[in-house]
Amino acid sequence: MGYLTDKFFNHTVKARHVTFILTLSKWILWGSIIGIVVGTTSALLINLNDFLTDVREANHFTLFFLPLGGIVIGYIYMYYGKGSRKGNDLILEHIHHGQGEVPLRMGPIVFICTFITHLFGGSTGREGAAIQMGASISEGVNRLLKINKIDRRILIISGVSGGFGSAFGAPIAGTIFGMEAISIGKTKYEALIPCFVASFVGHYVATAWGIQHEHFTIKNIPDINTINLIKVVGLSIIFGFTSVVYSQLRHEIKTLSDKYLKNLMLRAFVGGIILIGLTYLIGSRDYLGRGLPMVERAFEGDVPTFAFLGKIVFTAITMGTGFRGGEVIPLFFMGATLGNTLSTIVGLPTSFLAAVGMIAVFSGAANVPISAFLFSLEIFDGQGMSYFFIACLISFIFSGHHGIYAAQKIYEPKS
Amino acid sequence: MGYLTDKFFNHTVKARHVTFILTLSKWILWGSIIGIVVGTTSALLINLNDFLTDVREANHFTLFFLPLGGIVIGYIYMYYGKGSRKGNDLILEHIHHGQGEVPLRMGPIVFICTFITHLFGGSTGREGAAIQMGASISEGVNRLLKINKIDRRILIISGVSGGFGSAFGAPIAGTIFGMEAISIGKTKYEALIPCFVASFVGHYVATAWGIQHEHFTIKNIPDINTINLIKVVGLSIIFGFTSVVYSQLRHEIKTLSDKYLKNLMLRAFVGGIILIGLTYLIGSRDYLGRGLPMVERAFEGDVPTFAFLGKIVFTAITMGTGFRGGEVIPLFFMGATLGNTLSTIVGLPTSFLAAVGMIAVFSGAANVPISAFLFSLEIFDGQGMSYFFIACLISFIFSGHHGIYAAQKIYEPKS
């Protein structure tokens, strides 16, 4: 045989091709299993959360049970948590160091606690629950199939991707989110295939269960010119700092609680009392729950000037004292309302700046510039993509090494 | 002072903020310098190349000078190249191992050789020249400012980003391209800021010099449903294999040349003769030069069934025997014409499949799934993004570890 045919038909090449197909099939299979299960649980989470939110809004008195709900949540994590209290940070630690087993119960527990938080008005989202459920399901698959250590980590990352993709109806952003959220400095490309499969399958399964996601409309995108670019850069720096204010405040509240309110039940009870007090102090229930109506208002018309600050305080207290849910929708709230407030000052269209703020604060707080950008493409149909790309990067850079995930590993300094 | 104020005003925090601002300013400054210079040289490259293409198309006889042009190119690299012959691979090796200095002359030499190749009809693009010029300019900045070793590498990566962003008018894809092309398994996030600045500044400077980029229009995007998704996945596997065929053929031609035609002048001379022979054998000049008209035709109407194969052969011979230019536009040609050919078989819209093929073959050949996806957003205004994302990933996965850049470092297996 000739030179070329030799190369094409020798054994090593053949063996390599077989390995390739086997490994690929394995990742596709596992990614699909995770996607199907995570998509289903996310659909359950979203439907039940929507229902509980309706119940809460129809029955204002439920808020008074928030401190009691806090005691229940504290009790569950103290006596049945098995370390799952650390939530997303536990997942990150497990992936980085192989430390801190992801307990199977993490998923069900975070679901129950998220439902309690939502029913009684805690200021929180839901994707934290979806992500933690994704990770526990992956861990279940791991144990069932006795998967080796390296593959285990990859599967957990793909659970995170599936959770994000299905919770937000954003499978492209979900694919990258799992890999990007794991660390600030390094993206784990080897996880690309299972993350991709889990995120897309998860999204389609959730859609098949009838889940519909919020859509926000940007009414007009300003022309790309030097002045507008400078404005967006400047505003993105502000959005980046806003994300730092939120994540630092939450960290401080948690640190203070660890110091002065060691008992988890007492801690959440106090958090609940403070939230009730604040609600009556400002005379508005807008900062309870996820706050999606306010995000919508930020795209449509006027919101209170300091609405963003209200959400920062409410969510930082909710999450800092041990309630459960997620921080992404609250971050959207902060960003969209701040963008709305700033739009009159800088003379850019309101819905445009609400969108930029929403995405940029998320990018900075979660340290996920590429996922945040991809998310903007998916929910705004690619409108104004250059602005969003710039906003995500600038906010990410100016948020420094702060972020909502304390256990993110910083491989390389951002600058 | 209280607990919080203590934290905010202590010295370490202050010092860290000063360092942050200084480092950031440094990267913005260097990125801008690189962007300005690279944007200018890319504008020059594009204008001169367009001019030479016009001259060649108006004067068919120029093709007969291709073997002679090959001798000149071989001569230049043999006696004045100082190692720059390795082109993009040299840049990769330098970044990975600090080996193989990037010579300053690499930029001017590759420009001259690209002009010669284009004037006489070599089947090639231009972005290789833009990227190598970007890297040499960065190296010039490095030497001028006596920059330390780690920063040097980052600056070279940002030169690559600036080259891509300005050569294609795609600053978002350019930002990520520099980091993604460096290696298959790992993306260097620390380079994000200078890459971002160099790519955007490079693009705006090239635009300011009057450069306008090609736009291709997708007439209609098929609905997202299971059947269409399966079709796109299947086709993307084919596009991935096509990229393997091209890069393997080019590597084989180079390997054979290294064995039997060691003299660079003789090698390119023979390459030129073969290209002339092939042109007259098939009786078409469509495969000479970049071939942008054929890419346009693939979006509009019919192209020869095996046009993709023609381009594979022509470009593999051109690049494998030492001519210069770039492979991205030829890859677009292969993908778009193959997509066009396949569209009648699978029953998907022609312009849509031309677009998917163009992006997917590029993704697989250059091993840059994220950059290729971002590029699709920028040139097709975000249309059909889910399809493009899937196509880029599938093609990347199925191209295995083959690729046009032999020196890409494989940190982690793809699957």
Mean pLDDT of B88-114: 77
Q: How far apart are CA B355 and CA B337, in angstroms?
A: 9
Q: How far apart are CA A324 and CA A117, in angstroms?
A: 6
The gap between the terminal CA atoms of chain A, to the nearest Å, is 55
What is chain A's pLDDT, residue by residue, as a tens digit (415 residues)?
A: 334 434 444 556 667 677 778 888 888 898 999 999 999 999 999 999 999 999 999 999 999 999 999 999 999 988 887 777 777 777 777 666 666 567 888 888 999 999 999 999 999 988 888 888 888 888 888 888 877 777 777 888 898 899 999 999 999 999 999 888 775 445 556 688 899 999 999 999 999 999 988 888 899 899 988 899 999 999 999 999 999 999 999 999 999 998 999 899 999 999 999 999 999 999 999 999 988 899 999 999 889 999 999 999 999 999 999 999 889 999 999 999 999 999 989 999 999 999 999 999 999 999 899 999 999 999 999 999 999 999 999 999 888 767 766 556 544 445 4
Query: What DSSP state is assigned to residue B305?
Result: T
Torsion angle, CA of A328/A332/A334/A338, rounded to 10 degrees?
160
Residue B184: list chain A partners with CB under 8 A: 189
Residue B176: list chain A partners with CB under 8 A: 370
- Cβ-based neighbour number of residue A258 at 10 Å: 10
Question: Across the interface, do B369 and A171 touch by the CB < 8 Å criterion?
Answer: no
- For residue B82, pLDDT beyond 80: no
> Best mutation site among A179, A186, A192 for testing chain B: the one with the most B CBs within 10 Å?
A192
Return the pLDDT at A401: 67
More confident residue, B269 or B180: B269
Question: Across the interface, do B186 and A185 touch by the CB < 8 Å criterion?
Answer: no
Q: What is the ipTM of this complex?
A: 0.85
Return the pLDDT at A70: 94
CA closest to B378 among chain A residues: A385
CATH number of A226-398: 1.10.3080.10
CA closest to B154 among chain A residues: A415
Mean pLDDT of B185-193: 65
Question: Across the interface, do A377 and B377 touch by the CB < 8 Å criterion?
Answer: yes
- Residue B193: what are its φ and ψ, rounded to 5°? -70, -55
Q: How far apart are CA B248 and CA A162, in angstroms?
A: 35
- Smallest Cβ–Cβ distance between B24 and the set A200, A381, A415 belongs to A415
Mean pLDDT of B388-399: 93
Domain parsing of chain B, residue ranges:
12-208, 226-398
Note whether B384 contacts A: Cβ–Cβ < 8 A.
no
Q: How far apart are CA A198 and CA B80, in angstroms?
A: 52
Q: Are A356 and A388 in contact (CB under 8 A)?
A: yes
- For residue B410, pLDDT beyond 50: no
Q: Could you write out the three-class secondary structure of A244-264? A: HHHHHHHHHHHHHHHHHCCCH
Return the pLDDT at B224: 87
| Nearest residue to A235 (alpha-carbon basis) of A154, A142, A353 | A353
Q: Chain A: nearest CA to B367, how far in angstroms?
A: 12
Return the pLDDT at B100: 58
H-helix or E-strand spanning residue B127: helix B127-144
Note whether B393 contacts A: Cβ–Cβ < 8 A.
yes
Note whether B105 contacts A: Cβ–Cβ < 8 A.
no
- For residue B22, pLDDT beyond 70: yes
Mean pLDDT of B171-195: 77
Query: What DSSP state is assigned to residue B64?
Result: G
Return the pLDDT at B79: 85
Note whether B335 contacts A: Cβ–Cβ < 8 A.
no
Note whether A177 contacts B: Cβ–Cβ < 8 A.
no
Residue A370: list chain B partners with CB under 8 A: 176, 370
Do A12-208 and A226-398 show the same overall fold?
Answer: yes
- For residue B160, pLDDT beyond 70: yes
- For residue B93, pLDDT beyond 60: yes
Question: Across the interface, do A415 and B196 touch by the CB < 8 Å criterion?
Answer: no
Return the pLDDT at B412: 45
Note whether B2 contacts A: Cβ–Cβ < 8 A.
no
Fold classification of B12-208 (topology level): Clc chloride channel (1.10.3080)
Name the β-bridge partners of B187: A187
Q: In degrees, to the nearest 5, what angle opens at C-alpha B53 toward C-alphas B47 and B54?
A: 90
- Smallest Cβ–Cβ distance between B20 and the set A171, A400, A412 belongs to A400
Q: How far apart are CA A114 and CA A73, in angstroms?
A: 9
